[in-house]
Structure formats: C-alpha cells, structure tokens
Chains A and B, each alone.
Chain A
Amino acid sequence: MSDTTFTRKLALSDDILMAVDKPARYIGGEVNMVRKNPREVDIRFCMCFPDVYEVGMSHLGIQILYDMFNRREDTYCERVYSPWPDMDKILREQNIPLFALESQEPLKDFDFLGITLQYEMCYTNILQILDLAGIPLHASDRTEEDPIVIGGGPCAYNPEPLADFFDFFYLGEGETVYNEILDKYKEHKAKGGSRLEFLEIVADIEGMYVPQFYDVTYNEDGTLASFEPNNVHAKKTIRKQVEMELSDTYYPEKPLVPFIRAIQDRVVLEIQRGCIRGCRFCQAGMLYRPIRERNVEFLKNLATKMLRSTGHEEISLSSLSSSDYSCLKELVYYLIDTFQNDGVNISLPSLRIDAFALDVMNKVQDITKSSLTFAPEAGSQRMRDVINKGLTQDVILAGATEAFKGGWNKVKLYFMLGLPDEQEEDIKAIAELSNEIAKTYYDTIPKSERKGKVQITTSTSFFVPKPFTPFQWVRMATAEEFMDARKVLSGAIKEQLNAKSIKYNWHDTDVTMLEGVFARGDRRCAALIEGAYKDGCLFDSWSEYFRNDIWMSQFEKTGLSLDFYTSRERDKDELLPWDFIDAGISRSFLYREYERSKQGIVTPNCRKGCAGCGAAQFHGGVCYEPRNEAGESISNEVLIPDC
C-alpha cells in the first residue's frame, strides 16, 4: 500500500527545529523511509531505540523488523528515538507530544510501541519516551486508549527491573512470531476485544512474557522466594524463539540511510548469528546459541542489493566472531573483487588476526592509519582459562609479528578487570602482555625500517556478570576493588620497559556498578529507575549526563542495597529473577561451566566438541553439522565443498 493521499507535515515548527542541535534527528524523510497512509492500515507500530537518533539508526535489529512489518499491507511501522536533552526541554515546556518520524503523528495514537533493550544504561530513556508520549509509565495504569508497550533485545533476558513498565516482553528473535502477534491483534481489534484479553492471547504465544500475569514473593534475606503465574494463560516457563532458517528469512534490501552521520554509516551484513566460542563472560555468546550461518550466495546477493539501494561507501560484516564463518574467504574476496573499484570499503570487525586477515586488511585498509585489534580480555593465561577465552599469548604475538612485518604499527588491546578470582598477578599480566607486544615490534622491525614508535593502546572495562552466563552466580567486584585493580594496572604499565609505547584507557566505575544492578536486578529495581528518572537522570550512558549522586540517593530512598545485587555470590540453588526464562541453554550446563571456570578448565568450542549446552533442542545450526569420530565438526569440508 503506497502513500497516496497522506501528506507529511512536520510535528515541530521551524522555530523549534532551528533552535536545537541536529534538527535532522526529528524530521524523518530519510532515503528508503517507508511511506504509507496511516489511515489506510489496520496496525500502527512504532519501533523505538531508547537512545539518540545517530545511535538508534545504527541498529540492525530495528531495520530488520521495520522491513518485515512494512512488508505487511495492513501494518505501518514507524520509528522514534530519544529526544536529545535540548529537544526534551522544548517538548516539555510546550507540551508537544512525542511523535514518530514517518507520519510525524503522536505515539499515543499507535497500537504498539516496541522498544529494543540493548544495554542497561538506557532504562531512564525508556521512561522519557513513555512520559513524553503521554503513555502512563506503569503498564497497570494504561487504558484501552494507550499503545501496547513491548520490550525485546538482549536485556529482555532479565526483564524484571523493567517489568512494571512493559505490557509484554518478546523473548527471542523478531523474525519468528511477530507476524502471529500482529495477525491476532488485528483479529482481536476487529472484534472490539479488550487490552487484558489481548495480553492473554499474547501470553499463549511461545516466547511472550506478560509480567502482570506473575506474582513474586521474597525471602527475608531479599532473595526471591517464589515466581508464580497468576493467570491461566501465563506459562510457567517462557521459551526463547529462534529463527533457524537464516538464509530464507527477512532482511532489508533497502535499509534506511540517515541524512546525518550515524554511528554505523555503512551497510551492515549479518553473516551469522550466535557464536561457537563459549567465552564464559559473554552473554551474547550464550543467548544466541546455536550458531547459525547464512548461505554465502544469499549474502552476496544481499550485499549487492543493499549497496545499490543505499549508496553507502562501506560494508561491514557483522557477527560475534567473523573468523568462524565457514565461507568467509569466499565472501570477502567476492566483495573486494566486485566492489572495490566502485570505492566501496570493506570492514571486518571481530576478525582473528591470521594470514588471511592480514591479506584482506592489506587490500582494504590504509596500513599507516588502521590498527590491529586483539581482545584477549585477560592478561594471564590462567585468567583466560577461567573465562574460556581461547586466545593464547603465542597466537597474539604471532599475529602481531606478521602484522608488524606487513607494515602495521598500531595495536589496540581490550581487557576486563574484576574477573572472577582475579589476583594481582593477573592484573599485572595485562601490562606484561602489552609490553611483550611492543617488544615484539622492536625485535621484529629493524631500527632503519621503523616508522616511529609502536603504538599500543590498552583499554580495560570492568566485568559485569550477566544472566544466562556461567558467571550469573558470581560476586561482582565492588567499585573500590575496581579502582584498586585499575591503579595496580596503571602502576604496572608504568614499570614496563616499553611503557612509553603503551597508552592506557579505562572505563568509569560508577556506571559499571549500576549496570551490575540492572543486569541481575529484580522487580524492586523498577523503583530505582523511576526515581532516578523523576529526579532528572537521562542519557545515563553519556558521561556528560550521568548523575551518580542522583542514582545513589535512590538506593537510600528505596532502601535497596547496591551490594545485594552486585557484590554477592549467589547460591547454586537460589531462585534467580530470570529463571523462568528458557534461553535454550540449561541451568545445569551454565553451572557446570562455572565449576570448570573455578578449576581453570577450558571447554572446547562447539565445532571442536559438543559441551551439551542444550541448544541442540532447536534442531539446527552447529549442533547438527556432521562430525568425525572425535566429535569435531567437518562441515567446512562436507557441506560447503566450494569454500
């Protein structure tokens, strides 16, 4: 259904748009924006990324769902992002209701508001969206007139801190049951059914969690005592939904192209979903199991179409670990051969540094400007064994040696501080490894051939234990411990022989502590978010707007304890707030992995051998690749003879 009679009229006056920073954030009308007449559809869906436009527009998930929903004639899917503080102020002062970019009409008129939950520190922004739209913050206060508010994305795997604010959560991949939800909604709306009845229909659909249909009780020590359905439609366990046919599913051939530069100003090609590596700290690596590859011909075709329809000058291959994609060489060389003469740049994040990677980087990047990136995550081999990060010092140094010979002299290293059972020598090992890489450069490249010093940038973030990882039980370090670790590392770097070649960057601890609270928080945490929002917190992931003092005062006001949620080891049998979700990996597997981590035992990746995580229940992906007698996948040779 194309737009015939509907004329877009901007929701904001010229005076307002001229008064704010980057007015293009609010006008829509971008390349490949879908135009429909809102009066001629049955369902109006607004997709929201609760952060500023340039961040939100870079998110692939929304682009996929935007395309998928708009393929339906009966649905018009639009978008909204968080108004920046300058616009926030104007909207409040002038009582202008928050609107969607496409039709420029108020969110309140929509049937659905779908909010993607990508990181914990956007939670106050969710309340801003609801508030500015005039939608009651609490699901329980909403009426038949209000949109149904849906949450999805990685943070939905512990939805409890947000439970009060959402009508339901979608657990799993959007391609799977959204069409069923929309069909049922349309049918229900035509019958004049109520909001409550619709939520009951939703609760009957696999993967959907309606928080108001569950009651929670607590023990005296603050831990969960029970989590029970209070509605016959509510399932005891919610099972995540997974798209198993990634080469025969929705993917936008005409992604939106913003006028202003987004974080991702390029075509994003998701080559596979999931990861075989099993790093124990990594939530994505557990949540998106099993790894499922997209067919290489499907990807080549998509890449061509997307580059043509967007005019982007860059394409980025997206996945958790690109090197594990079995047809990577074929795909990358195809992209180089086909598009490089048209000035298309190819970017390959998350690539293991080996001969192939260096050859590709040599072809697509300017060596003098680009840098090599390694993410050893921990400095010592013992610590890397604890977290099951397969990368060894030998591999890193070998990669670096080759790269230095090839002309590179910039290296970025990423580590975490505060990992479980971290000792002082593990922290110091980060400095030693950084130094070792610098030394490798000076050993490899004769003085006459050096172009200045080698530049090592060592960055640390603080470890936050996440649900559905083997570390979901673990005690998180305190802010003081983080700061101490940082100081130890700072000092150790200064003591290195090549200290002048190493630059050290670190993250803020205060934000990390709050992330820790919301990652493993329960329903009571909603009061913290609401209180902080009402006292002025917004854009917490932006350091210039983060107000730790306001957040800390919420703990006093609510009587909740930060340490209870962060620096507390959970018992093996403690009822965790997210235990009602079946993410496809068993609790016993996670605990087994936790035990192995304590003993420093490495678990092989999914292609080397099956660890029995439970993801085989989805009947596809790596779990069903053919294997040899040793249990190793032989898919590369057997399934894809061309690669």
Chain B
Amino acid sequence: MNVRVRFAKYGAVKFIGHLDVLRYFQKAVRRSGLKIAYSQGFHPHQIMSFASPLGVGITSEGEYMDMELTAEYTPQEIVDALNTAMVEGFTVLSSHILPDPENGRKRETAMSLVTAADYLVTVRENDTFLGTKSFEELNEAWVRFIGQESISVIKKVKKSNSETSIDLKPFLYDTAVGTTASLPTVATHKNDHTFYEVPEIPDFAAEQKALCAEKGLFSVLLRVSAGSADNIKPELVMEAFARFLGCEEPEALKFQIHRLDMYTGENPELKRL
C-alpha cells in the first residue's frame, strides 16, 4: 500500500538539513516496526519520498512524505506507529492511504504534485531593517507592495549559476498581515478509512506568534507558488518587500519562517496534499 504522511518539524530540529531529515525518517520507519518496501539490488533503499525540502532554520507543520508499505495498516496505525519513533521536534499529524493510479498510469509523487504552499513569516526582533519599523508602517507599506502592477525580483539560478529577473506577482496567490490573520481555506481530506488526522493539532508556531504579538513585530501569511515548476521561497518575497522600502542589503534580513501546509491543484482550486 502507498501512503502519504504529514508531519511537523519544529524547535531545535529546524537546524537539521533536508538530507538528514531523510536519514532520520529512514531510521524512524525502521524503529516504528512498519513494514516498508525496499528497492532491489545490493544496496536496497526504502521506497520513500518527500514532497519538498525544507530549508535549514525553517519550521513547518505541513511536511509530506510518501512511502510504500508491504503490509496492510489503517491510517491511524501508521500515525501511531511513527509517533512512537519520533523525537522532540518531529510529530506525525496525519496519514492518507493513496488510491492506486488508473490503469497504465504512473503514480504521481508528492513532489510532482505540489503547486502551492502557505508560510507564516515573522520579522525577527534583531533585524536591523524591518525590525526597526513599526507594525502600522509596515502594514501600510505591504498593501502598497502587493498592489503593484508587477513585482520584479532577481532570482539566482543554481544550475547555471546565473541570475534571472522574474515577476513575483503571478506566483503570489494570497497574503494576509498579522499573526491572527488567515488565508482562504482550501479543500481538505475527508476523515474516512483512507485518511486519519490526530485529533488535536497543536499550534506549532505559537511561540513565534506570541513573540510577534508581544514585541509588535511584523508578520505576514503568504500563499505562494511552490513545487518543481515555480518554487517561490518566502525569503524572496520578503527581500523584494524590503527592497521596495529602500533596503540595500536585503540578504541580511532576519525572519522566522514557518511552513503551514502544501497544496496541489491550480490556484485558487487548491487541495491539501
């Protein structure tokens, strides 16, 4: 059976890079006792893949991992088994048994399905540019910023080690300012025999939000294009915003970023992965 698992990554483990998270889950699945499928050959590896790598320093409650299991389990059994193998900083939140692909078609991986992601971005107290401005001032500026005809930014292209200019505007699906703000809801999974979600999902960004509220720091929710095609990093949006306000060194900005969820489908008809 093929399953998709959603998990949160928070606290100190945000400093663990994507490849190490991968290793962590490989070992965690073995500790959980779940029977996972292995590839053939002398160096068999688990059939497991992740939706989208999360940058070092970023927390998340919307990470997704697909795996193939060789025994039958209920979605709740999978969540419970994995959670016995987690350490502080990783929590499995839901699991979803994936339907088999239609005749002759290849299974789509979580990675190929991702089209959008939500982020909560908060300015850090010790940020020397945005951190020095008042919440009201930034709130007002944000409205002007996203109201522009186009938002052009320089994006570095890793492969060719070059830079290209792109317009962010079409990839910025929605935004909302403030820690109590929210983005439009999207279609979610039905709770049935193929899907199970833990009853109470804690607010993994609670500390980040509390700090913003207490210090009056600027925070913004972003729904942006994500995935293999047009992956927009929240840092890129924030750098454009700072540049819009006259910041000359936006690379030095300091944020805390929290990924809230990832979606598939075409905006605005998004569905949770």
Within 8 A of B (CB), among A21-58: 23-24, 27-31, 33
Residues of A within 8 A of B31 (CB): 31, 308-311
Which residue in B23, B42, B87 is a CB contact (below 8 Å) of A366?
A: B42
Contact A15 B254 (CB under 8 A): yes
- Are A29 and B87 closer than 8 Å at their CB atoms? yes
* Known interface pairs A29-B87, A312-B27; A343-B15 also in contact (CB < 8 Å): no
Count residues on chain B whose CB falls below 8 Å from chain A CBs: 32
Q: Check if B88 sits within 8 Å of A260, measured CB to CB.
A: no
For B73, list chain A residues within 8 Å (CB): none
Tell me whether A29 and B13 are in contact (CB under 8 A).
yes
Partner of A31, one of B11, B46, B87, B254: B87
The size of the chain A interface, using a CB distance under 8 A, is 30
Does B265 have its Cβ within 8 Å of any Cβ on chain A?
Answer: no
Instruction: Out of B13, B26, B38, name the residue touching A311 (CB < 8 Å).
Output: B26
> Are B30 and A259 in contact, with the CB atoms below 8 A?
no
Q: Please tell me which one of the listed residues B28, B38, B88 contacts residue A29 in the complex, with CB atoms under 8 A apart.
A: B88
Instruction: Please measure, in the bound complex, the distance between the C-alpha atom of A343 and the C-alpha atom of B43, giving whole angstroms.
Output: 8
Q: Is B24 an interface residue (CB 8 A)?
A: yes
Which of A27, A308, A366, A369 meets B15, CB within 8 Å? A27
A313-B27, A342-B30 given; A15·B126 CB < 8 A: yes
Interface positions, chain A 265-312, Cβ under 8 Å from B, are 307-312
Q: Does B20 contact A (CB under 8 A)?
A: yes
Asked if residues B12 and A29 are in contact (CB atoms below 8 Å), the reply is: yes
> Given the complex, which residues of B lie within 8 Å of A30, measured CB to CB?
87
Complex alpha-carbon distance, A8 and B12, angstroms: 10
Interface string of B98-114 (1 = CB under 8 A from A): 00000000000000000
Contacting residues, chain A, for B56 (C-beta < 8 A): 18, 23
Using A259-B20, A260-B16 as known contacts, say yes or no to A31 and B27 having CB atoms under 8 A apart.
yes
Q: Within the complex, what minimum Cβ distance (angstroms) separates A388 from chain B? A: 37
**B85 in contact (CB, < 8 A):** yes
A232 to B236, CA, bound (A): 71
Q: What chain B residues lie within 8 Å of A23 (beta carbons)?
A: 15, 56
- Measured between beta carbons, the chain B residues less than 8 angstroms from A10 are 12
Given A23-B56, A31-B87, A313 contacting B13 (CB threshold 8 A): no
A550 CB within 8 Å of chain B: no
Q: Is A230 an interface residue (CB 8 A)?
A: no
Chain A neighbourhood of B33, CB < 8 A: 308
**Roughly how many angstroms separate A402 CA and B16 CA in the complex, as a whole number?**
45
Residue among A15, A308, A310, A313 with the most chain B CB within 10 A? A313
Tell me whether A17 is interfacial, beta carbon within 8 Å: yes
Most chain A beta-carbon contacts within 10 A, residue among B13, B27, B88: B27
Q: How far is the CA of A342 from the CA of B85 in the complex (A)?
A: 17
Residues 56-93 (chain B) with a chain A CB within 8 angstroms: 56-57, 85, 87-89
Contact (Cβ within 8 A) A313 B20: no
Least distance between A423 CB and chain B CB atoms (Å): 44
Q: Please measure, in the bound complex, the distance between the C-alpha atom of A259 and the C-alpha atom of B12, giving whole angstroms.
A: 11
Flag if A259 contacts B16 (CB, 8 Å). Answer: yes
Q: How far apart are the CA atoms of A14 and B38 in the complex, in Å?
A: 37
Are A310 and B126 interface neighbours, CB within 8 A? no
Given A29-B87, A29-B88, A343-B38, A257 and B27 contact (CB-CB distance below 8 Å): yes
A residues within 8 A CB of B262?
none
B1-43 contact mask (Cβ, 8 Å, vs A): 1 or 0: 0000000000111011100100110111111010000100011
Kindly provide the distance from the CB of B125 to the nearest chain A CB, expressed in whole angstroms: 11
Assembled-state Cα–Cα distance A29/B12 (Å): 8
Measured CB to CB, the nearest residue on chain A to B85 is A311
Residue of A nearest to B31 (CB): A311
Contacts A27-B15, A31-B87, A365-B42; A311 near B30 (Cβ below 8 A)? yes
B28 contact set on A, CB distance < 8 A: 31, 311
Are A311 and B29 CB-contacts (below 8 A) given A10-B12, A15-B126, A27-B15?
yes
Alpha-carbon separation in the docked complex, A18 to B58 (Å): 11
Known interface pairs A15-B254, A343-B38, A343-B46. Does A260 touch B27 (Cβ–Cβ under 8 Å)? no
Name the CB-closest residue of B to A265. B23
Q: What distance in Å separates the Cβ of B266 from its nearest Cβ neighbour in chain A? A: 35
Q: How far is the CB of A81 from chain B (nearest CB, A)?
A: 16
Residues of A360-378 at the interface with B, using a CB-CB cut-off of 8 Å, are: 365-366, 369
**Cβ-defined partner of A17 (8 Å) among B15, B30, B87, B89:** B15
Distance to closest chain B CB from A247 (angstroms): 26
Say yes or no: is A261 at the interface (Cβ < 8 Å to chain B).
Answer: yes
Least CB distance, B41 to chain A, in whole angstroms: 8
Complex contact B43–A27 (CB within 8 A) = no
Closest beta carbon of chain B to A514's beta carbon, Å: 35
Q: Are A261 and B30 in contact (CB under 8 A)?
A: no
A308 to B30, CA, bound (A): 7
- Which residue of chain A has the shortest Cβ distance to B13 in the bound complex? A29
Q: Is the CB of A27 within 8 A of B126?
A: no
**Nearest-Cβ distance from residue A312 to partner chain B, whole angstroms:** 6
Task: Give the docked Cα–Cα distance between A14 and B126 (Å).
Answer: 11
Residue of A at shortest CB range from B19?
A: A261
Residues in A neighbouring B17, C-beta threshold 8 A: 24
Residue contact A27 to B46, C-beta cutoff 8 Å: no
B44 within 8 A of A: yes
User: Inside 8 A of B20's CB, which chain A residues have their CB?
Assistant: 24, 259-261
A14 and B256 CA atoms in complex are apart in Å by: 9
Residues of B at the A interface (CB closer than 8 Å) are 11-13, 15-17, 20, 23-24, 26-31, 33, 38, 42-46, 56-57, 85, 87-89, 124, 126, 254, 256
15 residue pairs from A and B, CB less than 8 Å apart: A14-B124, A24-B15, A29-B12, A29-B13, A31-B31, A307-B30, A310-B27, A311-B31, A311-B85, A313-B26, A343-B38, A343-B45, A366-B42, A366-B43, A369-B42
Q: A257-B27, A342-B30 are in contact. List 18 more A-B contacts (CB 8 A).
A: A14-B124, A15-B254, A17-B15, A17-B57, A23-B56, A24-B17, A24-B20, A27-B13, A28-B12, A29-B12, A29-B13, A31-B87, A260-B16, A309-B31, A311-B26, A312-B30, A313-B27, A343-B46
